[in-house]
Amino acid sequence: TDMSVLCAGGRGELDDAAAAMLAQVLEVQGATVSKAGFADMEPASIRRLELETVDTVVVGFLNRDSVKHARFLVRRLKRAKAALRVGIVFWSEAAAEDKETAGKLARDMNADFVAHGMVDAVLGALSNEPPVALKLVAKRRMRRQRAASKKVTAAAAD
């Protein structure tokens, strides 16, 4: 294939090791592969990643409790490059988890795919599907506290 994939660990050195194994499999499948460590996924470091030639980023986590962190990384990576496909792999999860649940999780995270094993990770990384657009999250407006406290003060003065 002529796909370019960046494999990265999500939170620790074991995640990096799993990402390196995925990178080897993707290379055997003919993809151009680069690797990044979990430290490269820190907020300040994401901007320094060379994503110009990358089609897909796959971030792997051994810890299933990393869903919030994964959602954050998807958002950061897609902000860095809108045309990027971003996939998340939860290695510790049973590979038998159904595709519908994985699809729902991917939609919840705004990811292009969620995989739970090597085969699904490779299929997701090498997919020709167009990237999922980043959903804009409405910012919450803070109520002005001062206006309310002035009314209370004015009412008390009457």
Six-digit token string for 46: 């994401």
Domain residue extents for the chain: 4-157
Q: Return d(Cα 144, Cα 29) in angstroms, integer.
A: 57
Per-residue pLDDT, 151: 57
Q: If one looks up domain 4-157 in CATH, what number appears?
A: 3.40.50.280
Mean pLDDT of the chain: 86
pTM of the complete model = 0.81
**Minimal CA–CA distance to 46: which of 74, 18, 21?**
74
Q: Return d(Cα 19, Cα 45) in angstroms, integer.
A: 18
Q: pLDDT > 70: what percent of the chain?
A: 80
Six-digit token string for 154: 């004015």
The answer on pLDDT for 1 being more than 80 is no
The answer on pLDDT for 156 being more than 80 is no
Q: Residue 89: is it exposed, middle or buried by C-beta count within 10 angstroms (0-12/13-18/19+)?
A: buried
- Which tens digit of pLDDT belongs to each residue from 69-118? 999 999 999 999 989 999 999 986 565 566 778 888 888 889 999 998 99
Read off φ and ψ for residue 7, nearest 5 degrees.
-105, 130
Q: Determine which of 12-21, 28-37, 38-47, 88-97 has the lowest per-residue pLDDT on average.
A: 88-97
